[in-house]
Structure 1
Amino acid sequence: MATDLTSALNAYRAAAGQAAQAAGGAQPADETAGQKFTELVQGALETTNTSLVQAEQLTASAAVGDAELVDVVTAVAAAEVQLETVIAVRDEVIRAYNDILKMPI
């Protein structure tokens, strides 16, 4: 999933640069800003993955009686919120990318 999102972000950045150049010879967006955004998204994905793994481990621990149910519910809820946030960001990036593809050249 992380690779697909990174590819989409890179394609979005390239399309935005091409659209800007075609519109009036403007220079493409700063390359380092695009890299920082990609790193930000990758960090969010890694944090979400860690949260999901932790929730899964707590669930397994609770199944054998080693963890409190309150801790499991809290971890699962936090992981769910993070995952929904990542999905929402992904959907917006894809929507923006599709909007760029629809722009006349």
Structure 2
Amino acid sequence: MIDAIKTIGAALSSATESTTNATSSAASMASQALGSTSPAGQSFSEVFSGMASEMSNSLRSAETSSIAGISGKANTREVIDAVMSAEQSLQTAIAIRDKIVTAYLEIARTPI
């Protein structure tokens, strides 16, 4: 699953996006919503690539903590915190994906 997320992040980072005011605005809003600060020159694809990378790291950390908890090397609280953080990251990614799909469908329905 983590490899699939990395693939999405790589696809987003390799995608070329035109830099417009709307794109910069959307990127800054997404960055502010996640609590991170981004330079004004950062593109839309770079923001989402960074978000996918952070989510991947969160999931990997949760997996590592879970394995350590099963083997008795980590306490329960650490495992729960890591898993809850990964779940929140995944829920955020799903919500963003749903919004992007909804926007795409709305654009596809627009008459030319």
**Given the two structures, how large is their TM-score scaled by the length of structure 1?**
0.70
Rg larger for: 1
Aligned alpha-carbon RMSD (Å): 2.9
Once the two structures are TM-superposed, the CA of residue 29 in structure 1 deviates from its matched residue by 6.3
Letter in 2 for 1:38: S
- The answer to whether the 8 Å contact 2:65/2:78 transfers is yes
SS in 2 for 1:104: coil
Q: Name the one with the larger helix percent.
A: 1
**Unpaired runs of 5+ in structure 1?**
14-27
Number of paired residues?
88
Correspondences of 1:16-35 after superposition (within 5 Å): 30=20, 33=24
Distance of aligned partners of 1:4 and 1:98 in 2 relative to their CA distance in 1, 3 Å threshold: farther
Identical-residue share of aligned pairs (%):
31
Using CA pairs below 8 Å that are at least 6 residues apart, which structure has the higher relative contact order? 1
Distance 1:3 1:48, change over 3 A: closer
Q: What does residue range 64-75 of structure 1 map to in structure 2 within 5 Å?
A: 64-75=71-82
Query: Matched residue of 1:60: which SS?
Result: helix
Q: CA deviation at 1:36?
A: 1.0
Q: 1:47 aligns with which of 42, 54, 65?
A: 54
Name segments (4+ residues, structure 1) moved above 3 Å.
Answer: 3-6, 31-35
Structure-2 separation of matches of 1:103 and 1:5? 27
Q: Distance in 2 between matches of 1:3 and 1:67?
A: 30
Corresponding residue of 1:22:
none
Kept in 1, the 8 Å contact 2:10–2:49? The answer is: no
**1:30 CA displacement:** 2.1
Structure 2 residue runs of 5 or longer lacking an equivalent are 28-41
CA distance in 1, matches of 2:19, 2:88: 31
